[in-house]
Amino acid sequence: MRIRVENKLAGDFDALVVGMFSDDGAPLNLLDDKTRELVAKVKELGGATKPNETESTLYTDGGPAKRLVVVGMGKQADFKIASARSIAGATARSLRKKGAKKLAFALPFGNIDETGVAQAFAEGVVLSTFDAGVHRTGEGREEKLLDDVVFLTDQGNGIKDAVERGVVIGEGINFSRGLAHEPANTMYPAILAEEARKLAETYGLEFDALDKARLTEGGFKAILAVGQGSVNDPRMIVLKYNGAGSDQPYLGLVGKGITFDSGGISIKPADNMGDMKMDMSGGAWVLGTMRIISQLKPKINVLGIVAAAENMPSGTAYRPGDVIGSLEGKTIEVLNTDAEGRIVLADGLTYARKLGANKLVDLATLTGAIVVALGNNAPGVFGNDDAWTRKFLDTAAKAGENAWHMPLYPEHSDQIKSIIGDIVNTGGRSAGSSTAAAFLKEFTGGVPWIHLDIAGVAYTNAEKPHMAQGSTGYIMRTLVDFVLANVEE
């Protein structure tokens, strides 16, 4: 798919999409007289006033495209970055389903940052092309792809650069969504490591993946314990982007990569267990973010680590009541084998520090408790450095993604004290997402650290106008912007 910026429309397009604010109008200066007339008629008749509300008509006596689609963008005061992403994505997705392959967009920017809006428009279009049905056969696998997309504007190179950036981010997010959506029989730790290797080779990143022998030799006792019940051995996957010189520290991104989570001996209920193929979403987000960063080329060193394992019940699986070690040296009393994500992240966070990370962000579909607290509307954000955590929250707001600051009190650490070892891997039902974060904090070594519990936003069980059912890639745009925001520190 080619996405480009032009100041006039030339060519044979399946549809021209014109955005219209209910209290202002559409960007008509770049459009032909016939299109202006039709858009004015839609406004006169009170059509397309609400966000994503569309009015469509065919050009019956000639025009720049086969069809004109006027899409409502609501009131200017209500228009946000998230609105731009959703409107462009929903319109592109709807038209693609109808067989359109060549689209042109004339969309207004509202009263907010034009480059940010242009980037979001491009992201929305790219995200709309994600197809979860890669294993469908026959008629169900008919692909309806976009070939050519044009954004009409006369705003200059700033908009062009923003659109190109949006394409890079959108493609990176779709890459992550594809990894997370892949069934566990075709995506287990060794395969995930191979995908990371290919990514590194394509985008010029350093790659390493510690297999069972190296994990054993290196003392990665926590991740080995989680993976010991599966025939698919764990991997500690490492990607390095060196943009600031070898004498500079790394910003470490650490992702939970549980390629399938049965719950282990503490087995999950059968209902919806199939969704646990996406328990590797945090790891997939890290890989996609590293792909994006390698293309944007900021002057910062970034370390991406994915703690990949499969959590299965068997005669060799770790058990409730076991006491296991960790790379950090701390001992963990296992009360529930289904609280495995924090255990693999323990070794991932420690290893990131050993490799030179002086700041950490981890991502994980970690707790059902965060879904109870926030629903499917925002990830929970925890941290040990108030200023750095606030910077992340501000970045999320600017990127148009929800994120909510969750508490992490000393009392939460008290809940995970063990009487036989150092800590337990679950503090019980009370404040479950906070006690999980308190567990992770034990392995950060006191460096600035942010934990993102993405369990409620990593995937959706319902198709949305702008997004296919399944993996979402939510909060990745913020994560990329946050990495860039730390370049000068």
| Residue 423 phi, psi dihedral angles, 5° rounding | -140, 160
Q: Give the DSSP letter of residue 269.
A: P
Q: How far apart are the first and last CA of the chain?
A: 37
Measured over the CA atoms of residue 208, residue 214, residue 219 and residue 221, the dihedral's sign is positive
Q: How many of the other CB atoms lie within 10 Å of CB of 132?
A: 16
Q: pLDDT tier at 141 (50, 70, 90 boundaries)?
A: low
Q: How many of the other CB atoms lie within 10 Å of CB of 220?
A: 26
Looking at residue 142, its pLDDT comes to: 58
Looking at residue 8, its pLDDT comes to: 87
How confident is the prediction for the chain on average, in pLDDT? 95
pLDDT at 363 over 90: yes
Tokens 């106008």, located at residue: 465
Q: Whole-structure pTM over 0.95, yes or no?
A: yes
Looking at residue 139, its pLDDT comes to: 65
Which of 21-35, 174-188, 343-357 has the least mean pLDDT? Answer: 21-35
Alpha carbons 476 and 180: distance in angstroms, whole number? 13
Which of 155-164, 227-236, 297-306, 345-354 has the least mean pLDDT? Answer: 155-164
Three-state secondary structure call for residue 215: helix
pLDDT at 489 over 70: no
- The helix (run of H) or strand (run of E) holding residue 244 is none
Looking at residue 137, its pLDDT comes to: 84
Per the model's pLDDT, the better-predicted residue between 144 and 442 turns out to be 442
- Which two three-digit tokens encode residue 144? 């309806």
Alpha carbons 239 and 241: distance in angstroms, whole number? 7
Alpha carbons 258 and 311: distance in angstroms, whole number? 7
pLDDT at 361 over 90: yes
> Averaged over 57-77, what is the pLDDT?
91
- Which two three-digit tokens encode residue 146? 């976009």
Per the model's pLDDT, the better-predicted residue between 448 and 155 turns out to be 448
- The helix (run of H) or strand (run of E) holding residue 152 is strand 148-152
pLDDT tens figures, 213-223: 999 999 999 99
Estimate to the nearest angstrom the gap between the alpha carbon of 379 and the chain centroid.
11
pLDDT tens figures, 239-296: 999 999 889 999 999 999 999 999 999 999 999 999 999 999 999 999 999 999 999 9
Domains of the chain from N-terminus onward:
2-173 (3.40.220.10), 187-485 (3.40.630.10)
Q: Give the DSSP letter of residue 50.
A: S
% of the chain exceeding 90 in pLDDT? 86
Alpha carbons 283 and 454: distance in angstroms, whole number? 11
- Do 364 and 453 meet the contact criterion of CB atoms below 8 Å apart? yes
Alpha carbons 31 and 149: distance in angstroms, whole number? 16
pLDDT tens figures, 187-206: 999 999 999 999 999 999 99
Three-state secondary structure call for residue 44: helix
> Averaged over 388-402, what is the pLDDT?
97
Looking at residue 143, its pLDDT comes to: 63
- Do 84 and 121 meet the contact criterion of CB atoms below 8 Å apart? yes
Q: Of 128, 180, 125, which Cα lies nearest the Cα of 149?
A: 125
**Could you tell me the CA-to-CA distances from 189 to 60, 346, 476 in Å, in that order?**
56, 17, 22
Estimate to the nearest angstrom the gap between the alpha carbon of 12 and the chain centroid.
34
Task: Return the C-alpha torsion angle 51, 116, 80, 294, nearest 10.
Answer: 90
Alpha carbons 431 and 398: distance in angstroms, whole number? 29
pLDDT tens figures, 16-53: 999 999 988 777 788 888 999 999 899 888 889 899 99
- The helix (run of H) or strand (run of E) holding residue 82 is helix 81-97
Q: Which residues carry out catalysis?
A: 268, 342
